[in-house]
Structure 1
């Protein structure tokens, strides 16, 4: 069974679902560092945008009935590969113990001011 997950507390678009729940899996779309309370990017730095993108992913996971501990895979797409160290600096604070699998690649589109897009998959056991 495929269930669309949606929450007003995270960025959204008519072009994608924030997440899709399929059985025990939750697939969260790539989300950027937009603060939905202001409608603007959380800040100009990779750390600020990484923090907000991860918070947005967590909000969508919670709307799907998943927890942070259910995350099994994270994908981070960087506008500028040179931001890798700064992204890692913030990312490490979110997964201090046993982190999920992860990949990092270059973001293939240019969106004004956007430095990172983060997606994830969770398994609800």
Structure 2
């Protein structure tokens, strides 16, 4: 098992790793919209938060030498499922035409009051 720590992604806010590689798989912890330069959630709307989350995912993947094209499974958590039509186009643009398997779940609350969180599993070329 290899721990991934990407310098351009937000630091973990708890006792976990940004990502862990095991074999050809990379399991990325859920990313919330923390701006890595300030360490805070700057965007107040779900669209801005979704854009930051995608940027954070890309930074974690880059820290492991991967891109969004390596993602095989994505799980999106929304505080309000009514935000899905706002977030979905941002997700689609951020994934640059790539369409991994995905689940979307409404939750009661997310860390630090964020409106959206996304976790991914990516695969290294064998």
Q: Output the TM-score relative to the length of structure 2.
A: 0.89
Instruction: Determine the structure 2 residue equivalent to 1:51.
Output: 51
Judge conservation of contact 2:110–2:117 (CA < 8 Å) in 1. Answer: no
Judge conservation of contact 2:79–2:116 (CA < 8 Å) in 1. Answer: yes
1:40 aligns with 2:40: yes
2:59 and 2:90 mapped to 1: Cα distance?
A: 17
Give 1:89 shift. Answer: 2.2
1:35 and 1:56 mapped to 2: Cα distance?
A: 8
> 45-54 or 105-114, which moves further after superposition?
105-114
- Off by >3 Å, runs of 4+ in structure 1: 108-113
Q: Output the TM-score relative to the length of structure 1.
A: 0.90
Q: 1:15 to 1:107 in 2, by over 3 A?
A: farther
Runs (5+) with no aligned partner, structure 1? none
Give 1:110 shift. Answer: 4.3
CA RMSD of aligned residues (A): 1.5
CA distances 1:51-98 after superposition (whole Å, capped 9, x unpaired): 111110111111112122111111100011111111112112112423
